[in-house]
Amino acid sequence: MAKIRFRDSGMSTALFSALIATSSGVAAPALAQDVSASDDEYGDAIVVTARRREETLIEVPMAVSAFSAQALESQGITNISEIAQSAPSVTIEPSRATNSTLTAFIRGVGQQDPLAGFEPGVALYIDDVYMARPQGALLDVYDVERIEILRGPQGTLYGRNAVGGAIKYVTRKLPDQPSLDLRFSIGSYNQIDAVAKVSAPLTDAIRVGLAAATLNRDGYGENFTTGQDNYNKNVKALRGTIELTPSDALFVRISGDYSVDTSNPVAGYRPYPGAVSGTPVTDSVYDTYAGAATNPSTAGIDGRNRIEAGGVHGLVEFEASDAITLKSITAWRKDKTRSVIDFDSLAVDDFDAPVIYDNEQFSQELQLLYQSDRLNGVVGFYYLDAKAANDFDVVLGQLGRFAFGAPLTAYTGGSVDTKAWSVFADLTYDLTDMLSVTLGGRYTHDKRSADIFRANYLGLGSPFFGNENAIFLAATSDYEASRTFKNFSPRAVISFQPNPDLNFYASWSRGFKAGSFDPRGANFSTPEVEQGYKPEILDSYEAGVKARFGRGYVNLAAFYSDYKDLQVPGSLAIDTDGDGIDDDFVGAVTNAGKARIMGIELEGNVELVEGFRLIANGSLLDPEYRTFIVNGENLADQRRIQNTPKFQSYVALAYSGDLGNGRINVIGSWSHKSSITQFETPTPDIDQKAYDLFDASVVWKLDSGLSLGVHGKNLAGKQYKTSGYFFPTLGLENNITAFYGPPRTFTFTIGYQY
pLDDT tens per residue across span 186-198: 999 999 999 999 9
Long-range (24+ apart) CB contacts under 8 A made by 7-16 are 7/717, 7/743, 7/744, 12/188, 12/746, 16/696, 16/710, 16/712, 16/746
User: DSSP readout, 233-285?
Assistant: EEEEEEEEEEEEEEETTEEEEEEEEEEEE-PPPP-PBPSS--TTT-PPPPSST
Quick count: other Cβ atoms within 10 Å of Cβ 192?
A: 14
Average pLDDT, the chain: 89
Q: If you average pLDDT over residues 407-414, what whole number do you get?
A: 94
Predicted local confidence at residue 40, as pLDDT:
37
In order of 391, 557, 577, 730, the CA distances from 582 in angstroms are 21, 48, 9, 6
CA-to-CA dists, residue 6 to 75, 416, 708, 722, 747, angstroms: 19, 46, 20, 22, 10
Instruction: Identify whether the C-beta of residue 752 lies closer than 8 Å to the C-beta of residue 182.
Output: yes
pLDDT above 70: percentage of residues in the chain: 92
Measure the CA dihedral 105/108/112/115, to 10°: -80
pLDDT tens-place string over residues 98-123 = 877 888 999 999 987 777 878 888 99
Tell me the per-residue pLDDT of 391-403, one tens digit each, with 9 for 90 and over.
999 999 999 999 8
Nearest to 641 by CA among 173, 112, 37: 112
State phi, psi for 82 to the nearest 5 degrees.
-70, -25
Q: 535-568 b/e with 16+ CB inside 10 Å = b?
A: bbbbbbebebebebeeebbebebbbebbbbbbbb
Decide: 489 and 156 in contact? Cβ < 8 Å: yes
Phi, psi of 360 (to 5 degrees): -150, 145
What pLDDT shows up at residue 116? Answer: 81
Residues in the chain: 754
- Give me the mean pLDDT over the 628-649 stretch: 92
Q: Is 681 helix (H, G, I), strand (E, B) or coil?
A: coil
Q: Summarize pLDDT for 26-72 with one digit per residue, the tens.
A: 233 333 333 332 333 334 345 667 676 677 778 889 999 988 888 88
- Percent of the chain having pLDDT more than 90? 75
pLDDT in tens, 561-611: 999 999 988 776 777 667 777 776 676 788 888 999 999 999 999 999 999
Q: How far apart are CA 17 and CA 7, in angstroms?
A: 16
Evaluate whether 473 touches 458 at the Cβ level (below 8 Å).
yes
For residue 588, the model assigns a pLDDT of 74
Stretch (H or E) spanning 102: strand 102-106
Among residues 78, 85, 182, 181, which one has the least CA distance to residue 139? 78
Q: What pLDDT, on a 0 to 100 scale, did the predictor assign at position 46? A: 52
Are the CB atoms for 99 and 266 separated by under 8 Å? yes
Amino acid 570: pLDDT:
73
DSSP character for 219? -
Confidence of residue 471 (pLDDT cuts 50, 70, 90): very high
Cβ distance 643 to 58 under 8 Å? no
pLDDT at residue 221, as a whole number: 98
Mean pLDDT of 725-729: 92
Q: What is the pLDDT of residue 42?
A: 31
pLDDT of residue 217: 97
**What pLDDT was estimated at residue 589?**
82
- pLDDT at site 523: 84
Q: Over 60: is that where the pLDDT of 152 sits?
A: yes
> Band of the pLDDT at 228, cuts 50, 70, 90?
very high
What's residue 79's pLDDT?
80
Residue 420 has pLDDT above 80, yes or no: yes
pLDDT attached to residue 115 = 77
Tens digits of per-residue pLDDT, 202-218? 999 999 999 999 999 99
Q: What is the pLDDT of residue 58?
A: 84
Bridge partners, 504 (sequence order): 496, 545
Residue 435 pairs in a beta bridge with 496
Q: What is the mean pLDDT of residues 135-142?
A: 72
Q: Using the predicted structure, report yes or no on whether residue 476 has a pLDDT greater than 80.
A: yes
Long-range pairs for 431-438: beta carbons < 8 A, 24 or more residues apart: 434/496, 434/497, 434/498, 435/494, 435/495, 435/496, 435/497, 436/494, 436/495, 436/497, 437/492, 437/493, 437/494, 437/495, 438/61, 438/491, 438/492, 438/493, 438/494, 438/495, 438/507
Contact of 75 with 85, CB cutoff 8 Å: no
- SS3 state at 734: coil
The helix (H) or strand (E) run that includes residue 105 is strand 102-106
Pick from 677, 615, 684: which is nearest to 652 by CA?
A: 615
Q: Look up residue 638 and give its DSSP letter.
A: G
Q: In DSSP terms, which residues pair with 6 in a beta bridge?
A: none
SS3 sequence, 557-612?
EEEEEEEECCEEEEEEEECCCCCCCCCEEEEEEEECCEEEEEEEEEEEEEEEECCE
Q: What is the pLDDT of residue 67?
A: 87
User: pTM for the full model?
Assistant: 0.90
Domains of the chain: 10-753 (2.40.170.20)
> For 676, how many CA atoms within 13 A lie in the half-sphere containing its CB?
24
Mean pLDDT, residues 320-345 taken together: 96
**What's 406-471 look like in SS3?**
CCEEEEEEEEEEEEEEEEEEEEEEECCCCEEEEEEEEEEEEEEEEEEEEEEEECCCCHHHCCCCCE
CA atoms within 13 A on the CB side of 627: 13
Identity of the amino acid at 549? F
Nearest to 449 by CA among 415, 477, 486: 415
**Upper half-sphere CA count for residue 378 (Cβ side, 13 Å):** 22
Q: Inform me whether the pLDDT recorded for 18 exceeds 50.
A: no
Alpha-carbon distance 408 to 589, whole Å? 25
In this predicted structure, what is the pLDDT of residue 21? 33
Whether residue 643 is predicted with pLDDT greater than 60 in this model: the reply is: yes
pLDDT of residue 119: 85
Judged against a pLDDT cut of 70, whether residue 429 lies above it is answered with yes
How many CA atoms does the CB half-sphere of 712 hold within 13 Å?
A: 26
pLDDT at 329 over 80: yes
Q: What is the DSSP letter of 52?
A: S
